Amino acid sequence: MFSVHVDTARTWRGGQNQVLLTVLGLRGRGHRTALVAHAGGELRRRLAEGPDLYLLTPRGDLDLRAAWRLARLLRELDPAVVHAHDAHAVAVAAAALSLAGAGLAARLVAARRVDFRLAANALSRWKYRQVDHFICASSAIRTLLAAAGIPPERTTVVYEGVDVERIRAAPALDPHKAFGLPRGAPVVGNVAALVPHKGQRYLIDAAAEVVRHVPDARFVIAGEGELESALRRRIAALGLEKHVVLAGFRPDIIPLHKGFDLFVMSSTTEGLGTSALDAMACGKAVIATRAGGLAEVVADGETGLLVPVRNSHALADAIVRLLRDPELRQRCGEAGLARAQGTFDVERMVDETLQVYESLV
């Protein structure tokens, strides 16, 4: 099965890691895959040594030049499936397949990893009508698509995957040494882009409550984004400069996960939450909001704790509870690792993605 994967992101986030895992997993099964990636993107850099790598940098959904370039490439490659992994990729792939003409029989698959509602404008309606099948990262996303009028037979839930064996082999990073934290201080971690829907403002507000009960607690927030300055101001306003570290983008994110005592996702919306999967694969207890697919990842009271969205008090209570109960924390971490190995194994994700392709062609 020959598939072409299109991802237009320049940054490295959970979605790009899933593209990487999918492409490598399909190749490992003997299937040819080509990747069309942003010329200056991290995904392109990480797959630069592999075969079938092509560069494309569309400027928004209406970039007809990029669509023409992709159409020529698709006519040349003649894949069975074109898998678009982000919203811009869906637009440029849909336009390219239309421009390529009837001689190209490729089916269009769209990955849907966010639990945002589909835009209602004409261009959005057109591009999503061209999609033959949606692969949804969670049941929550599938429900949103159904509410937007996408028939259930055009959607399949495929939980995203985590490579537990690769993570097991990764070294651990001591955050106390890396960030100058007091020796022995418990470290609460968060890994996410610094954008509104990731909800770090609620985590910072929760930190202010936590340190009143656990004074030596420290928080490390890894990621970059538009809210960095606003979050730094909030940290300063709450007098948390010694307690909260904004660590920026970290290429060594798995070793950093291994150094956390506890992992928190404070999102207000979330398709699934691959950072939570990484934490579980590292054997860490996870506290998460009930946003989107996170409730499908974290088994409340078993692999961690779930709290309401936008509720810093509930978040603080859950953090204090797990910091004060190391035995519960350990049990949740062990159960989370078992759940990552079962429900969210990368091999299962690749197999189910391939099943979607086969059902179409």
pLDDT tens per residue across span 229-268: 999 999 999 999 999 999 999 989 999 999 999 999 999 9
Whether the per-residue pLDDT at 49 is higher than 80: the answer is: no
Tell me how far the alpha carbon of residue 90 is from its chain's centroid.
18
Asked if residue 106 has pLDDT above 90, the reply is yes
Task: Report, as an integer, the average pLDDT of 286-302.
Answer: 97
3-state secondary structure of 112: strand
pLDDT in tens, 138-152: 999 999 999 999 999
Q: Which of residues 104 and 231 earns the better pLDDT score?
A: 231
Tokens of 133: 């099948």
Whether 3-161+345-360 shares its CATH topology with 165-342 is answered yes
- List, for residues 304-337, the tens digit of each pLDDT value: 999 999 999 999 999 999 999 999 999 999 999 9
Task: Considering only residues 12 and 346, tell me which one the structure prediction assigns the higher pLDDT.
Answer: 346
- pTM: predicted TM-score of the whole model, two decimal places: 0.92
Identify the CA nearest to 88 among candidates 47, 50, 41, 51: 41
C-alpha–C-alpha distance, residues 281 and 263, integer Å: 12
Query: Looking at the predicted structure, is the pLDDT value of residue 182 above 80?
Result: yes
**pLDDT higher at 121 or 102:** 121
| H/E run at residue 324 | helix 312-324
Block residue for tokens 């340190």 = 211
Residues 6+ apart with CB under 8 A from 140: 115, 271, 292, 293, 295, 296
Distance CA 190, CA 289 (A): 13
Domain boundaries, the chain: 3-161+345-360, 165-342
116 — pLDDT class (breaks 50, 70, 90): confident
Indicate the CATH number of 3-161+345-360 among 2.60.120.380, 3.30.479.30, 3.40.50.10140, 3.40.50.2000: 3.40.50.2000
- 165-342: CATH topology is Rossmann fold (3.40.50)
> Model confidence over 85-97: pLDDT tens digits?
999 999 999 999 9
pLDDT of 73 > 80? The answer is yes
Residue 209: the pLDDT is 98
